[in-house]
Structure 1
Amino acid sequence: MSPSLLDLQAAWLCPQPGGDLGSALDHPWGPLHRPDWVARGLVVWPRGGQWRRLSQRLVCPDAWRALQADPPGLRARLVLRWWADQAELRVDGTAIHAGDLFDTACRWVLPEQWWRGEPLQLELRLRSPLHDDGALLHSRIELEPLDPSDPLGVLAETRAALVNLRREAGRPDLPEPEAGWHLLGHAHLDLAWLWPVADTWQAAERTFASVLALFERFPRLHFAHSTPALYGWLERHRPALMAAIQAAVRAGRFEPINGPWVENDCVLISTASLLRQFQEGQWDSRRRFPQLAHELAWLPDSFGFAAGLPAVAGATGVRWFCTHKLFWNATNPFPHRLFRWRSRCGTEVLALMTAPIGTDGDPLAMERYRLEWQRSTGLARALWLPGVGDHGGGPTAEMLEQLQLWEHQPEAAPQAHGTLRAYLAGLEPHAPALPVWRDELYLELHRGCATTRPDQKRHNRTLERLLREAEIAAVLAGSGPGADWRPLLFQQFHDILPGTAIPEVFEQAEPQWRAARRQARRRRDRDLAACLGGGAPWDRPRPVSTGRPWWALQLVPLAGRHRTVRLPAGQWQAQGQEQGPAQWQALPTQGAMAGGCWVQLPPAAGMVAQPLQHHPGPPDATAPAPSSVHQPVWVAGLRAGNGMLSVELGPRGVEQLWDRQGLPLLAAPLLWQRFADRGEFWDAWDLAADHADHPLPWSWQGLPAWRERGPLCASFVWRGRFGASRVRLEGRLLAGTPWLELVFSVDWRQRHELLRLEVPLASRAVRWAADTAGGVLERPAEPLTAREKARWEVPAISWLCSVGPRGGLALLLDGPQGVSAAAGSLGVSLLRGPTWPDPGADNGRRRQRLALLPASPNWPQAAVPEHAQGFREPLWLRPAGSAAEPAATPRRFLPPLAPGLQLIGLRPTAVPGEAVLAVANQSPRRCHLELGEAWEVLARVNGLDEGPVAQSGEAERMLLRPWQLGFWRLRPSGAPA
């Protein structure tokens, strides 16, 4: 027995297989199933929510009783740490302490009667997690001196261990003068995870009330917490608590460290959503806490960070980025603790890999961390974040007392409490000498998050589009404030959108997703109907027609091309000119198997509203004349084409594709695969690294069969079955469309499986590119470094494309989804079947759309991003408001943007009649933004509508550097100032 420590692990008793009590360490289950844990002295038992009841009779050692004086000079604590999702400690039948998977420690002060020799009967009830075996990690009694000078020397052993740590690190026995701690209380609080959102509000109340009470007991304590969405809820529902928090903020004790609206996922959302996360977070924080500068983004737990995040964050005034998650890398330790993170456009943020979250005041753990921080950065002063986390909790009195105990010991580094902003300010002078990171912050773990729960990804991508369209419609109609993004931003929290929460979270999110989609759709349709109605400035001479008027509106400023769409059956007409009266021209149509008819619309360049006329009636049984169809589809046996690409079917499905020059694109048929994916530790999060070694059979039924053979559309169907799941693949080739669309439908009933599509490439790639949050990222096709090899599955938003000397092939996604690429193939993960924490995460009817697009000579010149946007975003097709009034002449709201430029958003400002346009340069060349005569550009601004941003001249004001994100305040030409 140590003079100051009594190990209790060997004294715990538990029921044995025969029913008698025996040593918990000797239970036969442990050595058989978890010998590694038993070798470390852990008390272990099986996973799956199973209870383990431990008991022991605790008596104060005689040697310790002899040390205790009158008045007492010592304090004894029962110190426990567990891995269990529920824990309860009872002493003599009275409940003393409770915890869970997040509140995993106890430092209970033993009562005075124990010192007098009265034994205590301890009972510890622990329940194992559903996903992992349970463990009692350690249990002991620790002595603490009440006098900081430690006259009895009970801290001597730990003090000696601190000296040894420094000697092993090549440091002096005592801390250097510049060494020290910057202490900041923290409580990581997931908005949802293994609990529903309603529990989060209660946890926040408990956490913040506890912290405010601790401020009274510990006058030096400072506390920091993120999430504007949480402060907004408190302001609405707990105004008294929020008022107390704001008073503590004004006093400098409570620090909001907000950044985005929530601690969001940063790799699965579009650039527009990532931007809006930071905009809403900044706008709300400035309004709610105006006395502070909000220049930092606190994202400790998100599952990786896109390379474009510095550009998006920097546009909204963020200068510091803080996370801890890169320390979770399973393969390659992240090399930096403090660095400059630079995006492709050159924008930088200062990045801090923070101390661990959910820590206590253990002096040895703290010193190990500080020495590693000093070794990595050369700086001797480190940040420490005491506080229970994940489900809230924050710092406890026990933690703070432990910190106070060690601040008086010369072997421990000095302590100072303060704000995160103050600590970051002390790091600022070191910025010029910091290393620069010019890449994504890829988390070498949790690779399944881009594929798990595809329903959440579908809701997200649909609502992203509807909100952007609703804001565009509000600008065009001049109807005032834009759409409400906050319901979407909340669901982008890093344990909701990735699909890594319990079923209740998604059940409760479903009606919120649907309500937000309905609201955005109604707002968009109302404003567009008002915008496209009669009256000035739309009142122009109109050609006479007896059909019902319709509008076809392209809400993105893309280059003009013929589009083949499915509309109600009948005859369709369109005008051929964008300005002035024109004759109605009959459009080619073809009856559609799914109902209605296929119609080929004339090309519309830019953001254009095209008037159409519909003459209802039965579908025209006669095929349109080939001369009336732009790039008509032809079918010959098992081959089909449209002049832009052609496809050959066979016993193995899609067996070959050719581009417009007749060059083959596939080295072998498309390969639909399934693998055993017996998840790793984090089931819903992680793909099994060896899944490719465990293929499973897949049976297709016969040959693909043509369903439609016409000049506007040729489609085929192929059916199959495996396990309890039935699949249906529909391929579609449309006139004037440069891609082959694939619609994969499945009634998915599998567990712990991975469904993938592999695309074998005829032309080997030297690198590949993909659309990511914040911009395009290119990677080598043949990974050379260990870090490149670890990126065998990455998230992509809407496309990926091979790049080789003979051109490439693009895979368009209705994503986000997990993808991979090599010199000889492209791959996309379609479905998974994890069972924890949601037993039926991916199961049910699923439908996913993909497309294959020839990309020669490379992805920028083949306009792959623009085609991906056209693939994902349908035209707005609606009848005009009045059947008696023919539609107006075509109207172009925005010209097509220059190649490489992408519209991120167009939204109204608080000034009536004004709007802010956000555009990203997705190319490696400089591009000018041309808006035509319909818009007056007022100023170039930043991402928060602040400005103007200084530019050297008019031409420079409209210039975007490679990969740059730009913002302009504008208004319609001729509008009153």
Structure 2
Amino acid sequence: MNGFLLEVKENTIIESQKISSWQKIEAEYKDILSYKYLNNWEEIELPAEWSEAEQLTTFFKSDFAFPADNQENMIWKFDFETGGEALLSINGEIVHGLDRNHKEMIIDSNQYAGQEVELVIEAALDRINKIYLEIEGYKHSFSRAEFKIVDREGKSFYYNLLSLFELKNELQGIEKEKYKKIEVIYQKLKEMYYNQKRKNAKIDFKFLNKVYHSEIEKIESENNYKIACFGHAHIDLAWLWQFKETVRKSARSFSTALNLLKAYPEFKFIQSQPKLYQYMEECFPELFARIKEEVKENNWQVEGGMWVEADTNLISGESLVRQFLYGKKYIKDHFGEDSKVLWLPDVFGYTASLPQIMKKAEVDYFMTSKISWNDTNDFPYSIFNWVGIDGSEVLTHVPRVILPYTYNGEVDAAKIKEIENNYEEQKKENVFDYKFGDSSNYFKKDRVIPDNNLIYIYGYGDGGGGVTEEFIEKLKRFKELPYLADIDFSQPREYFKRIDQERKENNISYPDWRGELYLEYHRGTYTSQAEIKLKNRRLEEKLKKAEILNTIYQITDQKTLEKLWQDVLSNQFHDILPGTSIKEVYQDVNQVYKKVEQELNQIINDNLEQALSLNKNSSDADQKTLDNNQVDYFVVWNSLGRQRNSYLEIECSQLNIDFEAGIRVQSWPEAEDLKFCFKKDLSSKEMLKIYLDKISGLSAKIIKIEAVGKNNSKEFKSSYMKKNYIPNQLQEKSAQIENQYYRLQFDSQGRISSIYDKKLERELIESGEKANQLQFFVDQPPRYDAWEIEADFAEKEIKNELNLETLTVAEDDLEKRAIISWTFRDSTIKQEIILLTDKKRIDFKSSLDWQEREILVKTAFPVNLLSEQASYEIAFGQINRPTTSNTDYEKAQFEVPAHRWADLSESGFGVSLLNDSKYGYDIKNNLMRLTLLKSSNYPDPTADAGKHNFIYSLYSHSGSLRKSRTLNEAENINEKLVSKKIKSVRKYMGDETTHNLLNSILEFKKGKSRLTALKKAEKDKAVILRFYEPYGGRDRIKIKIADYFKIEKVAEVNLLENPVEKQSEIKLDNNLLSFELSKFEIKTIKLYLK
């Protein structure tokens, strides 16, 4: 800003009063709004430095008397330079947030005129400046506190001049004629101002403003663009701060927005994330009530669709459903609003199943800006139809603006012109139209932008703060100024409805984008903070299990499960689950996860206990053996909706019997002998492993483990070690394991030199290559450490530092395994490579004690096949991606997200790489890689350090992916059998009013689709069933539902459990449910009960 403008701003001040008498007190911020005061109030003089300690809060207070006179032509303001981030309260009422961008605030003179009040400022660390920007020598200093009375017309004149100044500077040297016209007006106003000043008269700002408007109106200007400006405050639920700080950040940002809404009738505000509103409801009910009033007046829009702005690459399909279900439910219940826009400005890529989920959650529009962050290819469209894997489409807008203002926009003339110019350039460019996986469809075409409806999202964000007075004042003037787009203070819902209506009325055809919105950036987020990703997946599975059982046996209420869901959903926020937050955030998350897991375990166990207590005929003989400690019983429940053969592992420490003397394991009451073995896992725990054959879907078996003496059964030490290999004596292919399906041979470094599929008579590994290569790469991206993997990572491989320590081969009745230990620098890696007797699958059970920094870890399988595309599981389906690197689009996808499996297939044969907790894949040509660890330094210098336990698996198949068991095996390694030790058993469980746990709750008679939810309906006496088609084809389903459910009628509903307008054909005959699913369809069925 030049000297003239500064002078004008100073001359708008009628009166200024310093507030010099202050006291302060320090407190430790323990938990949400919980403080431990460390000293007493003490007098201070400004300027006063205060502590930057992470967990310290400093309170300042002062008494202040407002003037009695509050004339219409005067504006009252406070001007504070507190340092850090702070919140101002007047007489206990929250008024405004204070930070590096919000120092001045308008005060309602009608409310406070003549009052004596107490001012309290709560101040804390500015984490953006201190941690993210790392400003050298940054100190917190409370240096200014002033009350100002400003001339209303003078303030208006100042912003008129400032807007002209910015516009003329933007036009200078580019559009000379336009520049001259604006420059003439600016200089004329400047001259008139100084003429008045030379006469020592009071500046007549009102007259100068009239001249300004008169001169502006003389300029004829055409601009075809209209920019919808959305004021908001992007608040990360956690990132460089903990959840408890987010509560305070929200209060600061929201109070600022409320103050601006009061001062500016034209201003509109939008805020997403019901979780933030829940914080306000619980912690700041007065603010929450004021927000509700502004929502009612249509000044504040509660939008976003989801519970939080969640990552969409990593979370399950059912989690995505619940994000919408509980997010929209909260908005409807508390604000009476129906959210129609998915608002995800800062999420790291968008799964291809999202359009269908949105449409079935009654969300029609999508807004993101993150795709404009691509590091390789410029995303070709701004307004377009995003088409999902099932064909569903949603109208989408990606604002086309330069970094870093994609969603934290500042307001000046340069930004407004930049938006226009970017769209003009976009019209001129050519774009490659390339359908991934189809090399024949690769050509150039003209880019078409059929609309002039642009978006600008403004307001300081990430750490909140939001809109400023200056932003609003400038936008008001930009709306009037020539040579700029038509500015509209707007909100997302109205914007999308308008352009959608214009599209229909004018028959506008927007371009289509099919498949995922892959972000060519932040690829490390599929891997960072591996423990958090594993726990999220386990809890997603456990929530499903708890809901199914609780629907039948009803131990807890729906609200309890909803709260547990919300806790998990909150931690799916896009800086938490992706692994890009500080250490303290993950300490908080682990505490939440621990509590949720404990509660879910309790719900599952209590429901199983309830099921087992529904017995009228106990077995005295069995009860007697229990009393003699000669028998242990376990109930084992299959949570999948299909029959499975599976393995159960029980810690021997759970057994009360004298198992070393010999045991028998049987199903009860059938008394069928079950295969079992004893083994030690990688942590040396003694385990009993049992093979269970043909457990029906959603049903249980009772396992009886009985001590029978040495002469009648196996001894404890029946798993004999077959051979130990000394590393320096281990010869190529001298160590091997083999079962009926595979033969594996190991080289002298413990790598696999051969995997031979005995059934298919085919070698899986390319000749001369090694499989299960543990690869290590230097991982030091120049910025965004936890977020990034560099495109040239493969050139930075660390070789010859993985040292084999031991390789042991063992076998028993259930498995053949190689137990291998390596060291890498200061870290240890152990694996059990397991061939199961009754499974065609190779498991790599892994245990790492990781002590390295900034090293990327992958496992590699160079397979003996070639395909131009690979298939990857995503939420509610799968997608194909190219394995080639022909184009820049293909090259950019050097690391991609997937869920439980990826598959590389050629005609008649394929190999699948499965996992139980990983998300980053890298499949190029015939090399299949899974990323295991990242261990970044920023923002958490301890990320991924310590112990990790996980499984990945290899599975080969004949035929197509659809005909394979890839999905079944992925389910088997992820969704373990539920087991519970029980005190007694009963031969009869259930009667006409209860369900027998040993029988299936529902049983698939036909079809390959998957059950993803069985839950109590949100309303009505009803049960919800949700299915999806996973392979990309049509599927006819027949399901037998347990007689326990007395079904009155069935109906198709959407994901919000509202009836769909066009009902599909669903037949119900004696509890046999028949229906059809189309390609990747998600179908939700409501069973109305009698």
Same fold (TM over 0.5): yes
Amino acid aligned to 1:259: G
Quick check: 1:309 aligned with 2:354? yes
From the superposition, tell whether residues 524 and 162 of structure 1 become closer, same or farther in structure 2 (CA, over 3 Å). Answer: same
From the superposition, tell whether residues 866 and 175 of structure 1 become closer, same or farther in structure 2 (CA, over 3 Å). Answer: farther
Secondary structure of 2:950's counterpart equals strand
Match of 1:232 in 2: 278
Q: 1:368-517, aligned counterparts within 5 Å?
A: 368-373=418-423, 375=426, 377-428=449-500, 429-430=502-503, 433-479=509-555, 481-482=557-558, 483-484=561-562, 485-517=565-597
Match of 1:40 in 2: none
| CA–CA separation in structure 2 for the residues paired with 1:697 and 1:801 | 27
| CA–CA separation in structure 2 for the residues paired with 1:488 and 1:522 | 17
| CA–CA separation in structure 1 for the residues paired with 2:714 and 2:489 | 79
Match of 1:965 in 2: 1082
From the superposition, tell whether residues 305 and 856 of structure 1 become closer, same or farther in structure 2 (CA, over 3 Å). Answer: same
Amino acid aligned to 2:503: H
| CA–CA separation in structure 1 for the residues paired with 2:177 and 2:289 | 47
Quick check: 1:639 aligned with 2:736? yes
Amino acid aligned to 1:590: C
| CA–CA separation in structure 2 for the residues paired with 1:243 and 1:357 | 27
Paired residues in the alignment total 853
Q: CA deviation at 1:785?
A: 2.6
Match of 1:80 in 2: none
Match of 1:770 in 2: 872
What root-mean-square deviation, in Å, do the aligned CA atoms of Structure 1 and Structure 2 show? 3.9
| CA–CA separation in structure 1 for the residues paired with 2:496 and 2:314 | 29
1:907 to 1006, 1009, 1015: 1015
1:921 to 1020, 1029, 1052: 1029
| CA–CA separation in structure 1 for the residues paired with 2:1054 and 2:858 | 41
Q: 1:762-911, aligned counterparts within 5 Å?
A: 762-882=864-984, 890-896=998-1004, 898=1006, 900-910=1008-1018
Q: 1:174-189, aligned counterparts within 5 Å?
A: 175-176=221-222, 178-189=224-235
1:519-568 deviation digits (Å, cap 9, x = unpaired): 111111111221243338x9999999965443221110224335464564
| CA–CA separation in structure 2 for the residues paired with 1:164 and 1:177 | 18
Q: Which moved more, 1:265-274 or 1:427-436?
A: 427-436
| CA–CA separation in structure 2 for the residues paired with 1:274 and 1:539 | 44
1:680-717 deviation digits (Å, cap 9, x = unpaired): 31011101222211121354555863353112122221
Q: 1:560-599, aligned counterparts within 5 Å?
A: 560-561=644-645, 563=647, 565-566=649-650, 568=652, 569=659, 571-575=663-667, 583-594=670-681, 595-599=686-690
Secondary structure of 1:592's counterpart equals strand
Q: CA deviation at 1:763?
A: 1.4
Q: CA deviation at 1:106?
A: 8.6
1:559-578 deviation digits (Å, cap 9, x = unpaired): 433546456456444459xx
From the superposition, tell whether residues 416 and 817 of structure 1 become closer, same or farther in structure 2 (CA, over 3 Å). Answer: closer
TM-score by structure 1 length? 0.80
Contact 2:450 2:509 in 1 (8 A): no
Q: CA deviation at 1:672?
A: 0.8
2:263 to 207, 213, 217: 217
Quick check: 1:946 aligned with 2:1048? no
Match of 2:251 in 1: 205
Contact 2:915 2:951 in 1 (8 A): yes
Q: 1:522-537, aligned counterparts within 5 Å?
A: 522-535=602-615
| CA–CA separation in structure 2 for the residues paired with 1:876 and 1:543 | 22
Contact 1:500 1:684 in 2 (8 A): yes
Contact 1:907 1:915 in 2 (8 A): yes
Quick check: 1:654 aligned with 2:752? yes
Amino acid aligned to 1:267: N
Q: Which moved more, 1:233-242 or 1:186-195?
A: 233-242
Amino acid aligned to 2:512: V
From the superposition, tell whether residues 817 and 545 of structure 1 become closer, same or farther in structure 2 (CA, over 3 Å). Answer: farther
| CA–CA separation in structure 2 for the residues paired with 1:165 and 1:273 | 53
Secondary structure of 1:535's counterpart equals coil
| CA–CA separation in structure 2 for the residues paired with 1:170 and 1:785 | 42
| CA–CA separation in structure 2 for the residues paired with 1:236 and 1:207 | 17
Q: CA deviation at 1:816?
A: 3.4
Secondary structure of 1:508's counterpart equals helix
Contact 1:676 1:754 in 2 (8 A): yes
Q: CA deviation at 1:843?
A: 0.8
Secondary structure of 2:351's counterpart equals coil
Question: What stretches of structure 2 of length at least 5 have no aligned partner?
Answer: 8-51, 53-82, 87-95, 107-125, 138-151, 182-218, 428-448, 626-630, 653-658, 720-732, 990-995, 1068-1072
| CA–CA separation in structure 1 for the residues paired with 2:804 and 2:294 | 71
Q: CA deviation at 1:491?
A: 0.6
1:327-354 deviation digits (Å, cap 9, x = unpaired): 1111101111111111111111111114
Q: CA deviation at 1:885?
A: 6.4
Quick check: 1:285 aligned with 2:331? yes
Match of 1:748 in 2: 850
Match of 1:243 in 2: 289
Match of 2:715 in 1: 621
Q: CA deviation at 1:424?
A: 1.4
From the superposition, tell whether residues 132 and 532 of structure 1 become closer, same or farther in structure 2 (CA, over 3 Å). Answer: same
From the superposition, tell whether residues 252 and 593 of structure 1 become closer, same or farther in structure 2 (CA, over 3 Å). Answer: closer
Q: 1:670-685, aligned counterparts within 5 Å?
A: 670-685=772-787
From the superposition, tell whether residues 207 and 479 of structure 1 become closer, same or farther in structure 2 (CA, over 3 Å). Answer: same
Amino acid aligned to 1:515: K
Secondary structure of 2:327's counterpart equals helix
Contact 2:666 2:673 in 1 (8 A): yes
Contact 2:858 2:933 in 1 (8 A): yes
Question: What stretches of structure 1 of length at least 5 have no aligned partner?
Answer: 8-48, 50-83, 88-96, 110-124, 137-143, 577-581, 626-635
Amino acid aligned to 1:529: E
TM-score by structure 2 length? 0.72
Quick check: 1:329 aligned with 2:389? no
Secondary structure of 1:449's counterpart equals helix
Amino acid aligned to 2:540: E
Q: CA deviation at 1:728?
A: 1.2
Contact 1:819 1:828 in 2 (8 A): yes
| CA–CA separation in structure 2 for the residues paired with 1:885 and 1:107 | 75
Q: CA deviation at 1:791?
A: 0.8
| CA–CA separation in structure 1 for the residues paired with 2:792 and 2:256 | 46
Secondary structure of 1:586's counterpart equals coil
Quick check: 1:255 aligned with 2:301? yes
Secondary structure of 1:789's counterpart equals helix
